[in-house]
Structure 1
Amino acid sequence: MKKDDANNEAKTHYRTIWISDVHLGTAGCKADHLVDFLKAHTCDTLYLVGDIVDGWKLSGGWFWPQEHTNVVRKILTKAKRDTQVVYITGNHDEFLRKFVDYRLEIGNMRLANEAVHITADGRRLLVIHGDFFDVITRYHKWIAMAGDALYEGTMRFNYWFNRGRSLLGMRYWSLSAFAKQHVKTAVNVVSTFEESLAHECRRRKLDGVVCGHIHHAEARRIDGVDYYNCGDWVESCTALAEDQNGQIHILRWVQLDHLNQASPKVTPLRKPVPAAA
């Protein structure tokens, strides 16, 4: 048996995998975890659901360690090995949107602003980053960019704060996740975002949506529409995966307790989390 064949046998294969909000080019990107995830999984179709490269951050200064190059190389390798890769543009990589009209395709890689994915069980899902349905990002970009800078500062605080908690034997705690879940304005913005996407799916007579943008993995039904969010690779290290029966799961690659801490030794969570019925 060839070495490559032996390696492939150890991998988990899915019909489709979706990842979003990787933010290559930023210090918060968990690129090493993503490389490990991509090594451990194969799929027929890989959707990159926006904000894969952070053009906002890179425009202000160059940050691109080897780990970020490794992510790009791993994705290109998958495309070379017959995985169909669809890159959906987001707001942080909006510089790519000007190329969409050229119908850019390189080998098994395709660039688009959105796509419609048909699951194995026949559902039609809109695949879109989601920033077009965020009123702040769409109409008040300066506020969005200021919020992005605040988020980055929060992540830096999280890093040192949780280093201290780790030394005291305490669990990881995310200030940004707490704010999203408990601050009324943030909760209302997220709720409006999700409801707007559900409304758009009903308008187009689609069965559901797969998106990113808000960095919170989710799988639930909203007024009869299947809503799926990929999460991110900055804090949660999550992805979505469709099995051969059309069921979609949230994959949580590492324990949240381990993120943003010094040790690179993490235990992968290979068991998928079932999506909401």
Structure 2
Amino acid sequence: MTGNVPTVKLNNGVEIPQLGFGVFQVPDDETTTAVSAALEAGYRSIDTAAIYGNEAGVGRALAASGLPREDLFVTTKLWNADQGHDATLRAFDASLAKLGLDHVDLYLIHWPTPARDLYADTWKALEKLAADGRIRAAGVSNFQPSHLQRLLDTSDLVPAVNQVELHPGLQQAELRAFHTQHGIATEAWSPLAQGAVLNDPEITAIADRTGKSPAQVVLRWHLQLGNIVIPKSVTPARIRQNLDVFDFTLTDDDMAAIAATDRGLRTGPDPDEFN
């Protein structure tokens, strides 16, 4: 547990808070305030990416927090244009400098970009960063089973995490089963489908019964599935509310009702086609 947030043990023994704070689409100048509010609320896991353009804003908030580095879990991601072994190492150095850190806890290849066919070579660079102790865990984002299988076939390092679009409208059952089989943790981005699932009658009915918001019901669903989840908000009240999901439990019937709402709803690009 980190505060009241449970942790998930990754396949290399490193523990990640199961609920973290994402900063996708938050401008750099607003990021420091948002991350500071999240740290104050009790979040200890912060998820950024080179392409978000706000690593420096995250770094400022981490530095200003006064929290010990070992209490924080920081994730960033390698952008597509920087794939390839040597380019990855350079891009990692740039991210680290912006964050003002000497290591990150989790480094992810942001997209497989299969048409460019560089992700296996890129993964070798992450192996080196892990071996050198500059990243505590190496993972990927938006990888499909075929992309993961290629890494498993060409490397001894199994990704610790695959961060993918996942929410009640897009439940990724086949991919989650592959993760379970190979010891890869499932992390959900866009866990609320950018709000698109919050009016689903199955979800609003549970919210009414439990006295929780639809967003809290969906986050609770993720947690009970075992997903790691990184909701984002810049509103302090919502930042706190998203963390307030550990005092109630969904029933088996609730979980089944939400399972039935899966409808192949993608809010982001298709990983097989995004290059």
TM-score, normalised via structure 1 length: 0.38
Which is richer in strand? 1
Which is richer in helix? 2
TM-score, normalised via structure 2 length: 0.38
